[in-house]
């Protein structure tokens, strides 16, 4: 299984999620990423699981998930949209807008 991200040092400090993603430290306000996590108690916040692929973090006591790509602002397009865009660009490469 390919790892999407390497996650380390995950903890909640006050109202911030602190973690190291791929060698870089991040501190993110909980309210900006998850109102559910922001309103959880310390026990609920402390129990979490990191997906084996590094895709995200899951808090089972409150059934909350955070995707690491989403946290980093990485957006994904569905594969068929990417292929359609490539096909459109290829078929229209000799046309010019006026």
- Global pTM value: 0.72
% residues pLDDT > 90 (the chain): 60
The mean pLDDT of the chain is: 83
List, for residues 30-78, the tens digit of each pLDDT value: 999 999 999 999 999 999 999 988 889 999 999 999 999 989 888 776 6
Average pLDDT over residues 6-28: 95
Q: Residue 84: which CATH number? A: 3.30.2020.40
Structural domain range at position 58: 7-91
What is the reported pLDDT for 16?
A: 96
Q: Let me know if residue 98 belongs to a domain.
A: no
Number of domains comprising the chain: 1
Q: How far apart are CA 35 and CA 66, in angstroms?
A: 12
Structure tokens at 35: 């109102």
CA proximity to 37, closest of 26, 48, 52, 27:
48
């Amino acid at each position: 299984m390919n790892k999407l991200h390497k996650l380390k040092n995950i903890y909640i400090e006050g109202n911030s999620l602190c973690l190291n993603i791929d060698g870089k430290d991040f501190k993110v306000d909980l309210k900006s990423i998850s109102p559910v996590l922001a309103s959880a108690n310390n026990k609920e916040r402390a129990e979490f699981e990191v997906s084996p692929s590094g895709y995200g973090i899951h808090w089972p006591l409150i059934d909350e998930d955070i995707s690491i790509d989403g946290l980093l602002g990485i957006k994904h397009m569905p594969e068929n949209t990417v292929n359609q865009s490539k096909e459109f660009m290829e078929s229209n490469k000799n046309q010019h807008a006026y």
